[in-house]
Amino acid sequence: MEFQQIIEAAKSEVLKILGSNASADDVKKATIYLTNAQYGISLEAPAKQLVPYLPTWAQSIPREVIATGNAHTYKRITKVSITGKSTAAEGTRGNAASITADAPSVAFGIISSGVFDVSLEAEKAAGTFDDLLARATTNALLLGQRNEAAHILGGTVTALGACTTIAVVDGGATPVTTFTAIPYYVNIKALTGPAMQKAIIAGACSLPATTTYVMSPVLANVDQTDGWGVEGTQATVTPTATHSLLVTWDPNPKAAGYGVFLGTTTGIANLKLIGVTNQCHVVLGEVANASSDVAVTGDTSADANDFIGFIGLINASGSGAYLKNVGAALSAAVGNGIPEIDTALGSVYNSALGIDDIDLIMGTQTRAAITRKLGSGSATTLLRLGLPVGPENTFAGGAFANKYVHPITGRLLNLVTDPTLFDGVILGKANSIPYPMAEVPAPLKMWLSYDWLNLTYAVVNPKREYENRMRGGLAVYLPPSCFELYNIWN
């Protein structure tokens, strides 16, 4: 086939997908790949309509597509300070503010919704009453944005490595368990954001019934082949019969979560997954189920096709972000706030010169703990509920904290729940920078070589195959405007 014939055939196929109202001008917006029989249609418009599927904190991150390249270098400000005197004699130079900055590079990664297909028979049978391709593309775009959110949070390029100082001891008589007086072996693996998201969706998180995190074994089929760090040095204990096991380990600041493995035979290949968590202090109350997942040995967390997420970027050496290993439960509220959160907000305000527009991002269990602590002081309950009675004598009970008062400025801050952060982590992300001459476009920004595209592959068997994908990476321009409180015990 001649070159021009190929072009015309490709245009014809694109017009069919775009619909009866499409024109040749719309085809110009599509990317044509002649070498491998693909063509890509920009999904920028529908992606903007679907963007609420991203967590609310990620929706505010600006996105910019650049013409070409595999990476983007940007100016990262890690410290703002004034050295020397702030006065000067007439006719002499004064001392300027000192900005400590470097120029890291955002290496682009590719996030995909996976390849999906629409059979020619189904497409023909649907006729004009149901656009199967449009529906499949929309569903895949939703899936792709969900995947992207996990990478923005906790994507990694290099391996997370092994968790250290893993320990297990007799946890005492509460709660009563089914453990017997034999040796039990425990190991821990660190997880990336995408791996944590998949594990939570698969049901690998057990909700604690009380304020103490007692993990119950899961039955889920959890994919350990992507995003799981290497096993650490196993720990063992022989508890008193019916006593629980208390497991602790040192946090890995770049991890988005951890997998806990338990067994009665030594060796990682003999241990089974109890569940996943974000905190490094859990109580085990039951043995693993017979059908629970056996641990996959080795490290699957390194991914050269990924980009580094928010957690990894603010934990990078010299970032200047406020990082705190809490290593305990959050303190009781003092006055109107929780001490650990107030300290982090105060540190950001002071080191980033007055930034107070910050989202507090956390998981479901931490959000519930904050509601409990803000609703009760050290001695008495702070809330008194006046519950209006509705039709048929019904009423809504309970209270929910959806804002947090900044301890310095009094600004109301959003409390944002991210399902990937199940428990044990609070992230602070600035939404704006109050000094316009800082040469910083935003606290965070997504740089892309292309935003979401719909790729159409050559017809294989009696079906069309498609894929949605984007290529880019995250930049944190002002890490001192962000913080992380991690290893918060429930």
| Residues β-bridged to residue 483 | 322, 428
In a domain, 5, yes or no: yes
- 96-140 pLDDT, tens digit per residue, is 656 677 788 889 999 988 777 777 666 666 665 556 677 777 788
What's the pLDDT at 128? 55
Q: Distance between CA 54 and CA 205 in Å, rounded? A: 21
What's the pLDDT at 379? 42
From residue 484, give the alpha-carbon distance in Å to each of 77, 323, 446.
18, 5, 20
Please give the full DSSP string across 341-409, using - where no structure is assigned: HHHHHHHHHHHTTS---EEEEE-HHHHHHHHHHHTB-SSSB---------GGG---------EEE-TTT
In a domain, 425, yes or no: no
In a domain, 37, yes or no: yes
What's the pLDDT at 288? 76
- 426-472 pLDDT, tens digit per residue, is 999 999 887 665 667 789 999 999 888 888 777 667 777 888 889 99
From residue 292, give the alpha-carbon distance in Å to each of 63, 141, 215.
41, 32, 14
H or E stretch at 417: strand 412-417
In a domain, 239, yes or no: yes
Domain limits for position 273: 167-284
In a domain, 314, yes or no: no
Hey, how many other C-beta atoms are within 10 angstroms of the C-beta on 485? 24
What's the pLDDT at 296? 87
What's the pLDDT at 219? 62
- Number of separate domains in the chain: 2
Q: Considering only CA atoms, which of 340, 325, 353, 321 is closest in space to residue 433?
A: 353
In a domain, 264, yes or no: yes
Q: Distance between CA 192 and CA 160 in Å, rounded? A: 8
| Strand 444-456 versus strand 63-65 pairing type | parallel
CB–CB of 465/115 below 8 Å?
yes
In a domain, 197, yes or no: yes
CB neighbour list of residue 437: distance below 8 Å, 6 or more residues apart: none
In a domain, 253, yes or no: yes
Both tokens of 156, joined, read 């990694």
Q: Give the residue ranges of the chain where pLDDT is below 70.
A: 1-41, 44-53, 67-68, 80-86, 94-99, 120-132, 206-214, 216, 218-220, 376-387, 397-398, 435-439, 459-460
pTM greater than 0.85? no
What's the pLDDT at 83? 63
